[in-house]
Amino acid sequence: MSETRIIDASDPAEQNKVVQEVVDLLAAGEVVALPTETVYGLGADALNPDAAAKVFDAKERPSFDPLIVHVGSYEQVDEVAEVPEDLKEIVAKLMKAYWPGPLTLVLPKKDCVPDIVTSGLPTVAVRMSAHPIMKAVVRALGNPIAAPSANRFGRISPTSASAVEKELGGRIPAIVDGGACRDGLESTIIRPEAGEKRPTLHMLRSGPVTKEMLQRFGRVERPKRNRSNEAPEAPGQLANHYAPVTPLRLLRSFADFKPEEGKKYGLLSYCGAEKAGFINAYDWAQVEELSPGNGKLAEAAVRFFYVLRQLDESGVDEIIAEPVSETGLGVAIMDKLRRASIR
């Protein structure tokens, strides 16, 4: 494939035309990059194994890493997942609270979902996106859409159409430009489990729906890092992920920074605060701030992948990242920094 078309979705009056164009491609077994509220996804008909195989090929994604399936309605969940009787109440509550939105539920799968989509697992990861383009495409297609992040495997997730083009240009037929993503971090993934008193929510990937937000629904178990790169239970669990091409190191303290002569270093700063001990302690070749002057985790989350990409393309030899507070959205940001960092 030599050319990737950019489909402009900025005009609401043209949305129906855009949706039909995308649906025609997906129905023909092609893949299309689509905006969601989290990051851009590389979509394919989730019930078409040949189409799903094109997702893995374009991303160079290993077959053992499962895909998230996007549905267009609550009823469509029943088409792809077999929700056990003892989980129906908690699943319904979670969907009502956070759908459409950045929460993915891992549930027992139905046979119609191809094994390639779930990497042979008996479960399927399901969510309903809040982005109007993704919602409209899923509903118009009539089938759920399998859509991991629209980047090469293990690389920085894209939050704009231009970032997708840098990652997958020439590898896929089309990218729908729906503007910048609202949340900027991939969805939270949980696997609900029935309990005697309260359900347990196994948090497989941290994201915009935080532990604090989920605690009213059950006991939340935080994600455990996969240090051996063994086959994951859900996307985003591998030890090395979300990584720039430029080596990145996450340091707790500037005292741990030992620069090498002749190397150019870039700094990924939380908010540019002097008290963190990084920003004025060294002559950085490039500095990017997640939440300039504010230190707001919500802003840092939205800017995270964009800022990381800016540093990756700046020409520095190594990126040094200072930590953020591990509360709320900070848990997801720190998890991604750890997975992106060199060992």
61 is in an annotated binding site: yes
327 is in an annotated binding site: no
74 is in an annotated binding site: no
**What residue ranges in the chain does DSSP mark as E strands?**
5-8, 32-34, 41-45, 68-70, 103-108, 123-127, 145-146, 174-177, 188-193, 200-205, 219-221, 248-250, 265-269, 286-289, 318-321
Q: Hey, how many other C-beta atoms are within 10 angstroms of the C-beta on 57?
A: 12
Calculate ∠ Cα 220-76-62, nearest 5°.
65
* Residue (of 85, 72, 334, 301) closest to 194 by Cα position: 85
Name the token pair of 141: 């297609």
189 three-state secondary structure: strand
242 is in an annotated binding site: yes
DSSP 297-322: HHHHHHHHHHHHHHHHTTT-SEEEE-
Distance of CA 148 to the CA centre of its chain: 7
127 is in an annotated binding site: yes
Phi, psi dihedrals of residue 42, rounded to the nearest 5°: -100, 105
The residue to which tokens 């800017």 are assigned: 303
Q: Say if strands 248-250 and 286-289 run parallel, antiparallel, or are unpaired.
A: unpaired
Name the token pair of 213: 């937000």
70 is in an annotated binding site: yes
The residue to which tokens 């990051």 are assigned: 39
249 is in an annotated binding site: no
149 is in an annotated binding site: yes
Name the token pair of 169: 């240009």
- Binding site for L-threonine: what residues are annotated? 38, 70, 127, 147, 187
- Binding site: what residues are annotated? 38, 61, 70, 123, 127, 147, 149, 157, 187, 205, 242
- Binding site for ATP: what residues are annotated? 61, 123, 149, 157, 205, 242
